[in-house]
Structure formats: structure tokens, C-alpha cells
Amino acid sequence: MDRRQALALGAAGLAHLGLSAPARAQQKLIPVKCGVPNAATDVGYFVAHAKGYFQEEGLDVSFTPFPSAATMIAPLASGDLQVGAGGPSAGLYNAISRGMDIRIVADKSKNVVNRGSQKLLVRKALVESGRVKTLADLKGMKFANGAPGSSASSVIYKVLQKAGLEASDITEVSMSFPQQVAALESGAIDFAMPPDPATTLALNRGVAVSLLNGWDVYPIHQIAVTLYSGRFATQQPDAARRFMRAFLKGVRYHNDSLNEKGEFTGAKGDEVVKILTEYGPFKDPALYRSFILAFCDPDGGLHMESLKEDIEIFQKLKLLEKPVEIGKVVDLSFRDWALKELGPYKKA
């Protein structure tokens, strides 16, 4: 083989990886900023980063923590943030209705029966004193949410319905999930529904009592999604596709590390727990082994009926400025491309 043939084969190989020869030669990784709420269900992004899947796709991905996906809307709309991860909120739908180009492009996590990341946590002192015996006793109390109109709002709406209460019967404040644990401990709030590991940490510390699981009122809930900035989707579509492929590889590796009950097992389980401990906000590996993660779809699929039900609840709560057409919010083209490249998931 002469030198010209060797160069041609090398260029073909680089093209197969989705990178041009000049780009690879200059070792120019494309920077991608990803906003995360620092929940255990960020695991797909974290594994993709730790395993080098993003770098293999020519991407330099960095993570920025946010209290919730609702607080990512402005930087996603401006393009300062290329990817966001978290709950689909009323604020997101309002921003899209105003013409901001932000897209729901894939799953991040779903709460399903026996695989949910949320519990209704009530301050332990309120339960021990007898002040809170039933859900109806939450009337007049202070609830902490990641942001107004977040996806947790629809779960709380269902909880209040079950209790015969209205949204106006409680006081809502906003704070990050780790802050909610501290606020339960200090008595600054009365109840909350943070995702794990914050939920389990609060229970382990003995500062809260769980009154119910999220799936008790919402059996299948698309609690969190992957979001793309419109600029990322339209101006860097190749990078957006490759991000999705790397992300799904991370989600699949994570799914491979779980047994049929959703518990970490084997060498892959040990590795994923180590990654969560390194990347997540809490540094105790035993904490990540003490709860079952919400379901992260290895094929990136969305539960559309849940998204539609959330929108209906946001409308009832008068949180939406205009009616929302879900078809104008969801863009599955990147997920479909990645799924075609990877094929359907098969557990290793």
C-alpha cells in the first residue's frame, strides 16, 4: 500500500467517525455545555463523560449545575447552553410559545411503579408531633419545589387532589434539591419531593418521613427530559446527533449495570456507582446503592401521554400563557438518528 492509499483509508476512517480529517488532525473538540440538576438520574450524561463516549464523538462536554431545568431556559434560548437536562416545566412551554427555540429531544428519566425517584417527604417533627397524620394535614404548610411550574408541580397537584386540597392551600418556595434536604432539617420548609439521592439522604438523616411514592399518584411520569437549544440543533446538527449517540451509550452502560430489580450489580455496577460518586453532589457511594433509580430509557423514548397530562395540569393551574401543541415542542430526529446508528437496546 502506498502513502496516498494509506492517507485515503485514514480519511475514510475519520469520516466514518463523523469527523473530517483536518478537524481530527487539529484535535479540535467541539465544546458543548450541558446543564444538569445534579440528580442521580443525570447518570447517562455522567457515564458518557467518564467512559469517554463524548470525546470519541469529538465533543468536549462540560456540566453546569442548575436548581432545575426551569432555570436553564434563558441560557438554552440564548444558545449559551447547548443541552439541558431536567423536568419539562410550564416555564419551558411558555418560552417556546413566545418563540424561543428549545426542543425536547429524548428521555432523561421516567418515574414508573417501583422505579421512581420521588417520595413525598414531610418534616419528621411534624409527623412525630401528630401535626401531620394524613395528606389533608398539609394544608397551610410550606412546600419546596425546584422551580415554579416544574414537573414536580404536576405530582404535587395530584397529591393535593388526593388530599382534597387546592394549590392555594399551601405556600410554595423554590430551592435546589440539596438545599431542600437542609431546609427540611432546619425547619425552613415543611415538605418537598426532591429526586434521589436527596430523598434518601433526608430519610437517612432522620429529618423527614415519606408519606407516599410519586408513582402512587402518577404511575408513569415523564419526570425529566433532554433538551436542546435551537441553535445547537440547527447550527451544529452533526454535533447534536453525536451528543445523542454518546448519551444513549451512557444510558445503556448504566442499564447494563442493573439487575432485574434495578439494583447495581457486578463490576459495571461498582463502576457506575463510582462515577455517580465522582460527578454527583453527594460523595458517599453507599448512598447511591441505597435506592432504586428512576427508569432511564436506553432507547431514549418519551412517554408522550405523560407530557400531555402535565400540560393539562399546568393549564388547570393557570401556569401557561397559551395552549401548547406538543408536536411543536418535541423533536425526536436526533434520537431517531442515534437509535438507527446503535440499533435497539439489548442488555449485555
**Is there a contact between 331 and 302 (Cβ–Cβ < 8 Å)?**
no
CATH of the domain at 310: 3.40.190.10
pLDDT at 164: 96
**CA nearest to 197, candidates 105, 306, 282:** 282
Tell me which of 182, 201, 220 is where a domain ends. Answer: 220
> Which domain does 94 fall in, by range?
28-112+221-279+294-342
Together in a domain, 75 and 124:
no
Q: What is the pLDDT of residues 41-55, one digit of tens each?
A: 999 999 999 999 999
Q: What is the pLDDT of residues 135-168, one digit of tens each?
A: 999 999 999 998 888 888 999 999 999 999 999 9
pTM (two decimals): 0.86
Cα–Cα distance measured from residue 115 to residue 117, given in angstroms and rounded to the nearest whole number: 7
Cα–Cα distance measured from residue 334 to residue 242, given in angstroms and rounded to the nearest whole number: 9
pLDDT at 225: 97
Paired with 86 in beta bridges are 225
Tell me which of 220, 240, 262 is where a domain ends. Answer: 220
Q: Does any domain span residue 170?
A: yes
Together in a domain, 178 and 260:
no
What beta strand segments (E) does the chain contain? 30-36, 59-65, 83-86, 102-112, 119-123, 142-145, 171-174, 191-192, 208-213, 220-229
pLDDT at 27: 67
pLDDT at 7: 35
